[in-house]
Amino acid sequence: MDRRQALRNIGLGAGAVVATPTVISLLQSCESEPSFVPVFVSPAEGHALKQMVDLIIPADETVPGAVAVGAHKFIDAYWKEITPTVQGEIWEERYEPLQDHIKMFFKMFGEEYTATFSKELADGTSEEFDQMLSKHLTIDKETQTQHYLALNEFFEVYESDKTATPAKEVAIFGLLSGIRGMTIWAWKSSEQIGKNVLWYDPVPGQQKGCIPLSEAGNGNAMAL
């Protein structure tokens, strides 16, 4: 199996989530769910996930942030409901151990958090999680590439050795970059943002060569 498929589905890179009807339905249900009770990660990990999603795309006075549109709920539900099956829906092969990898990576993240701040994830503050995001996501491009290659190597080895683990910094980078990519996707794909913030045109198809910018979304990205 091509490990790039696994990378895309754990949330690494721009192609983390494919907008199938199942995924869109899940996103819509997470938008309307008022409370957050994690279904895949632990309550403490859910607290960390929500805090980091809020840091990645915070709200301002006019635009709702990622938490407001339920991105944290979507990520947790996606990991539980979609991760084991979407590979078979989109690609020829499935890679079911992805759920095990996510749990493994989150465990390493929690261990580093506790070692750094001498407290449990459940008690983490926004400022502390911001430090963790900055540490692992502001690395240079060359190091990022090395981490991606190391993750690929880990996926290959894991098939024959289920005791294999990646280096801690590689695992945490994989987890956090995945959360970042999925947060951005969920935020941009939500109904609130798609219709009220981005340029929304349900059925684009007309070709208009010379029109004012005001008639073409004022430069905003297109939701659909």
Q: From CA 37, how far away is CA 42, in angstroms rounded? A: 9
Residue 208 lies in a domain: no
pLDDT for 123 equals: 97
Length of the chain: 224
pLDDT tens track for 98-120: 888 899 999 999 999 999 999 99
More confident residue, 181 or 14: 181
Note whether residue 221 is domain-resident. Answer: no
Domain span including residue 161 = 3-201
The residue among 68, 17, 75 whose CA lies nearest residue 197 is 68
Of 115, 109, 119, 118, the closest CA to residue 52 belongs to 109
- Measured at the alpha carbon of residue 176, what is the angle toward residues 175 and 178, in degrees to the nearest 5? 65
pTM of the model: 0.80
Query: Could you tell me which residue, 7 or 62, shows the higher pLDDT?
Result: 62
Q: Residue 189 — very low, low, confident or very high, per pLDDT cuts 50/70/90?
A: confident
Total domains in the chain come to: 1
What rounded mean pLDDT belongs to the chain?
A: 80
Q: Is residue 163 part of a domain?
A: yes
Look at 14 and 71; give whichever has higher pLDDT. Answer: 71
In the predicted structure, residue 87 carries a pLDDT above the cut 60 = no
pLDDT at 55: 97
Determine the Cα–Cα distance for residues 174 and 150; give it in Å rounded to an integer: 10
Is residue 102 situated within a structural domain?
Answer: yes
For position 112, what pLDDT does the model report?
98
- Sequence-distant (6+) residues with CB within 8 A of 208 are 215, 216
Query: Is the CB of residue 182 less than 8 Å from the CB of residue 77?
Result: no
- Amino acid 114: pLDDT: 98
- Is 159 within the bounds of a domain? yes
**Would you say residue 217 lies in a domain?**
no
> Region 132-152: what's the mean pLDDT?
92
Closest CA to 182 of 14, 32, 4: 14
Share of the chain above pLDDT 70, in %: 70
Residue for token pair 């805090």: 51
